[in-house]
A and B are shown apart, each in its own frame.
Chain A
Amino acid sequence: MIELSALTLQIGARDLLRDVDARIAPGELVALLGPNGVGKTTLMRAVAGLHRAARGCIRLDGSDVATLTARERARRVAFVTSDDVLFDALRVRDVVTIGRYPYHSWWNWRASDADAEAVDRALADVDATSLAERRFATLSSGERQRAWIALGLAQCTPILLLDEPTSHLDVRIAHEILSLLRRLTRDGKTIVCVLHDLNDAAAYADRIALLGEGRLLALDAPDRVLASDLLERAYGLGMERVRLGDGRIRVFPRDRARP
């Protein structure tokens, strides 16, 4: 469960997002949308406890994130980013095992059976068991993304945040990743995922959170968000809407170049 109350986030002295109120239930997949620079990643960082709120409160399963220690936080929320920073020739298993850090104190170095089990399960969940002994540097973009998600899953947290997990991926691999996230919600995991593709968000998410104009414009069912004029306000761009045979809506930017 993620609860945001009157949350204001700042970059320097500038308000980036103001008065955000939201409640995301266990087992829910929420797609976070909005134009570049609106504060999506900052909001995710704040929920992960990596960016301090200027005002308001973020609660994870009832606990104020600001009062949690770094290890306590990492046992409640995992944050998967897409940057490929890596030192030395790590195997995929080495990378995923780093997700077990919050379950160890500095004097207790030995990996437990629970660690091995969590790593194996995380690799299996993202269908990467066969990649476990591969060097990370030899993986394709999609395989890397799965390995990073496995690292987050190895943390065994009830909440999983992902920042653009489908960027730079082809349509098939993006579909696999989003289907994987959909599956993970069945175990009660709360997932919030930054996406740029509006139709992917509509197809896979339970709800869409739309950021724009320095605030949360909407947190609602995909069709209601896509049908409203909030997209135009958020992106400053006209949208065409197409209703599919099953009633669902798909949106496309209006092509100003064509008559």
Chain B
Amino acid sequence: MNAKVAGLSVVAVVAAAASLLVGGTWLAPHTVFGALLHPRLSNDVTTIVWRLRLPRVCIAAVVGGVLAVAGALLQGMLRNPLVDPYLTGVSAGAAAAIAIAIVIGVAAPALPAIGFVAGLATALLVAALARRGTSIDANRLILAGVSLSALFSAVIVLVLVRAQSSGYASAIVAWLAGSMAGRGWHDLALALPYIVLGLVLAAICAAPLDALRVGDMRARTVGVDVDRAQWTILAASALLAAASVTLAGVVGFIGLIVPHIGRRAVGSDARALLPACFLIGAAICTLADAVCRSIVAPAELPIGVLLAFVGVPAFLYLYLHDERMT
């Protein structure tokens, strides 16, 4: 394994371990360690660790990791460092569907599934609009993604205006701002098959993604089936983004910024970049979630808001000062 990727694995594990300690109540490391070793003990610490914090940390790690991988896939495919995983309209489509579902009174447990299906359906529509022959046109993809996202944002605003009087607005805003509050093992188990499928597809795409760095035409000349690679990358990124939306709502900036950090850390070889992005995204998201859980405890800060506050300056710094960016 690449030594830098191994180092990032350690960082991700340390970040996850640290975020197990913080929350509404501070837990000492040895207490958490003891609870992890004895999951069947019936005391408060074991309950907090196994039923509240560990699933939360796992979900945060998975959400951060998969969003970062989805961002790296799309940035590589489109050779555009400004692309994020929500370009395919997944978040806007999912959020609009969830907003409508909340207003018409759909039960809360059904919302993640509705978001997942709507997110994937939007990505399919964007892909269909971006199709040129058997391949995907990068400009059309961006145009279709941005256009449909704008359309669905308008739908969300309309629903929010209507929902103000009925008191549903706060539930919708919670999805839009991104939050993992109330999520548990069950939610993770439901999303896991799609995440595994998305990550397998991402692994399949790693070598073609490397070749695509020198352009579609050159990638074809070295034997890449560019059309198949594009569709696979799009499917992987849509699955990963849609699965993350079901777990945490709309979490911005991870998918945009982490690939930049990953390229600085390990270069743009996808075979190192994709695992590195997963680990960096997981570390950032678990730490950010820990801050959100503890900074205004017992209330919680939406993770999307925190990441935007930290993410915008970080992105501007990277974009303006990173000489590696194209």
Q: Which residues of A does B touch, CB under 8 Å?
A: 48, 50, 69-75, 78-81, 83, 85-90, 94-95, 98-99, 101-102, 104, 106, 109, 137, 151-152, 155
Contacts and interface: CB of A to CB of B under 8 A. Distances in A.
B217 A98 contact: no
B213 A70 contact: no
Interface of B: 76, 79, 203-204, 206-208, 210-225, 263, 267-269, 271, 323-326
A137 B323 CA distance: 11
B221 to A, nearest CB: 4
Centre residue among A73, A98, A99, A104 by max chain B CB count within 10 A: A98
A80 B276 CA distance: 32
B220 A98 contact: no
Centre residue among B222, B225, B263, B267 by max chain A CB count within 10 A: B222
Contact of A89 (B208, B211, B323): B323
B209 to A, nearest CB: 10
Given A88-B326, A109-B206, A102 B213 contact: no
Contact of B222 (A83, A88, A155): A155
Contact of B223 (A73, A90, A95, A137): A73
Contacts of A106: 203-204, 206-208
B222 A99 contact: yes
Contacts of A80: 221
B268 A90 contact: yes
Contacts of B267: 88, 94
A170 B56 CA distance: 62
Nearest 3 pairs between A and B by C-beta?
A85-B215, A74-B223, A88-B268
A78 B212 CA distance: 16
Nearest to B269: A94
B213 A98 contact: yes
Nearest to B268: A88
A130 B302 CA distance: 52
B73 to A, nearest CB: 13
20 contacts: A48-B221, A70-B220, A78-B221, A79-B221, A80-B221, A85-B79, A85-B218, A87-B214, A88-B213, A88-B268, A94-B269, A98-B211, A98-B218, A101-B222, A106-B204, A106-B207, A109-B207, A137-B326, A151-B218, A155-B222
A110 to B, nearest CB: 9
Contacts of B271: 109
Nearest to A72: B223
B213 A101 contact: no
A16 B48 CA distance: 72
A104 B207 CA distance: 9
Contacts of A78: 221-222
A170 B115 CA distance: 58
A81 B218 contact: yes
B211 A101 contact: yes
Given A90-B268, A106-B206, A109-B207, A70 B218 contact: no
A89 B207 contact: no
Given A78-B221, A88-B268, A106-B204, 5 more contacts: A50-B220, A85-B214, A85-B217, A87-B268, A101-B224
